[in-house]
Chain A
Amino acid sequence: MGRTTGAILTGAPHLVAVLPAVVTTLVAWDRLPAEMASRFAADGTVVDTMPRAAMLVAAILLGVVMSAVFAAIGGRSPAAPVSSVDTMRFFGLVSWATAGILGTVLLSAVLANVDAPDAAAAELPMSRLLVALGVAAVAGAVGYLVTPRSPVAPPQPAAEAIAVAPGELVSWSGRVESRASLALGAVLVVAGLAAAWPAGPLVGALLVAVGLAVLLLGSSALVTVDRRGLVVSLGVLGWPRLRIPADDIASVTTGVVSPAQFGGWGYRIVPGGSGVVLRRGPALIVTRRSGRRFTVTVDDARTAAGLLVGLGHRVS
């Protein structure tokens, strides 16, 4: 599957999803109140209203923005498999299911307004949410089926074992840093301090706390390979730590991975695998005895992989 096909398959559903609401709004323009009900409470009564034209623009914008975001993630280039599950097809499922919810909710909201004398008379029963979930389930299944298997990068030459002599003590370590996380953390801390005055100390403290967490946990990682296996210590404090014991490692490989495969940066869990992904680029990919994969992006991953393989030979 090419990048373009992938982008269309994951991006287009959102554009299509807003169409029924947009078309209905245009066709039934004269039958809609000038101020349309735009938000509904759990009991179906109206909470908020919006001018007709704004509602139309909002629906189109939602479709375009969601479509662009999903297309950007979906249209990625071939990369090393990071999970026993095809994360790309799973992403197709998520994309189509959200499009299903988006389309049904928008259309229901517009239909609720048709022929209503004013916004307050509109009503949207909670049961429509169940309909939306049903549509999402069907659309998700279709999305999974129409997404072809992931493009797989040509397999890297197998990690060449670094011979480890009996009695020899070995340790490999590499540090990986994320400028994106550093910048994000700094921005959050500054925003928190700035927001404390207008938005209240609670919001400010929350932003600062999240920013500090990103700075301390997500900005760097120390990757260590030794007789015990693989250890990834997160952040400047080197804690928490993720450990994969040597006897739980079934096979080791390296490859180029991208945060898109994990849906973002940081410590990520995806179906069939997990990883510490702080940047795009070379990564050490370990398959555990359970078949689950663990990925960590780090420079010189080939040496790390070679040492893990070499240590495995010495043990057996």
Chain B
Amino acid sequence: MLFRVDPARPVPLADQIAACVRRGIADGTVRPGERLPPARELASSLDVSIHTVLAGYQHLRDEGMIELRRGRGATVREGLRADRAAVLDLVHDLVAAARRIDLDDEELVELVRHAASGP
């Protein structure tokens, strides 16, 4: 899978790494059960700190996208649906768009809740 990140962008590198995986799952290039590159390898390949990669992988684990196991490394969760990854990708885009216009986090959550409770 392809990782491309840019330190010049305002988004933290770990988030950019997580976004690459999310998009890969969403567009089908990364399949459930597939192993992500080992954190150490990816860090030296991208020329970033291993902590940055691990932080990115932990975001993905917290979202239920991947599993992190000692020795096995990071694997995309079996049974994960591509459209779930696509929705999560949209959520992150939404948050980023809201932050760009200085929308309060509380206010954003309220807007989403309102939209979800609507018809």
A residues in contact (CB < 8 Å) with B: 162, 164-165, 167-175, 222, 224, 226-228, 233, 238, 300, 303, 307
Contact = CB atoms under 8 A, between A and B. Distances in A.
B65 to A, nearest CB: 18
B1 A170 contact: no
Contacts of B2: 162, 170-172, 303, 307
B42 interface: yes
Contacts of A174: 1
A220 B117 CA distance: 49
Contact of A170 (B7, B34, B46): B46
B41 A238 contact: yes
A167 B37 contact: no
A118 to B, nearest CB: 66
B8 A172 contact: no
A191 to B, nearest CB: 28
Contact of A224 (B34, B35, B45, B47): B45
Given A172-B2, A227-B47, A233-B41, 19 more contacts: A162-B2, A164-B4, A167-B7, A168-B5, A168-B6, A169-B7, A170-B2, A171-B2, A171-B3, A171-B4, A171-B37, A172-B1, A174-B1, A222-B37, A222-B41, A226-B45, A228-B45, A238-B41, A303-B2
Contact of A226 (B1, B35, B46): B46
A172 B29 contact: no
25 contacts: A165-B6, A167-B6, A168-B6, A169-B3, A169-B4, A169-B5, A169-B7, A169-B47, A169-B48, A170-B3, A170-B4, A171-B4, A171-B42, A171-B45, A173-B3, A173-B37, A173-B42, A174-B1, A175-B35, A224-B37, A224-B45, A226-B46, A227-B47, A238-B41, A303-B2
B35 A171 contact: no
A303 B29 CA distance: 11
Contacts of A228: 45
A168 B35 contact: no
B8 A167 contact: yes
Interface residues of B, number: 19
A222 B1 CA distance: 11
The 7 A-B pairs at the shortest CB distance, nearest first, are namely A171-B45, A226-B45, A173-B37, A171-B3, A169-B46, A170-B4, A168-B6
Contacts of A168: 4-6
A168 to B, nearest CB: 5
A70 B38 CA distance: 41
Contacts of A170: 2-4, 46
Given A224-B37, A238-B41, A172 B3 contact: yes
Contacts of A164: 4
Contacts of B47: 169, 227
A167 B37 CA distance: 22
Nearest to A306: B2
A32 to B, nearest CB: 63
A32 B107 CA distance: 103
Given A171-B46, A173-B37, A300 B3 contact: no
A165 B4 CA distance: 10
A227 B4 CA distance: 12
Contacts of B4: 164, 168-171
Nearest to B6: A168
B29 A300 contact: yes
B6 to A, nearest CB: 5
B2 to A, nearest CB: 5
Nearest to A303: B2
Contacts of B35: 175
A163 to B, nearest CB: 10
Interface in B44-82: 45-48
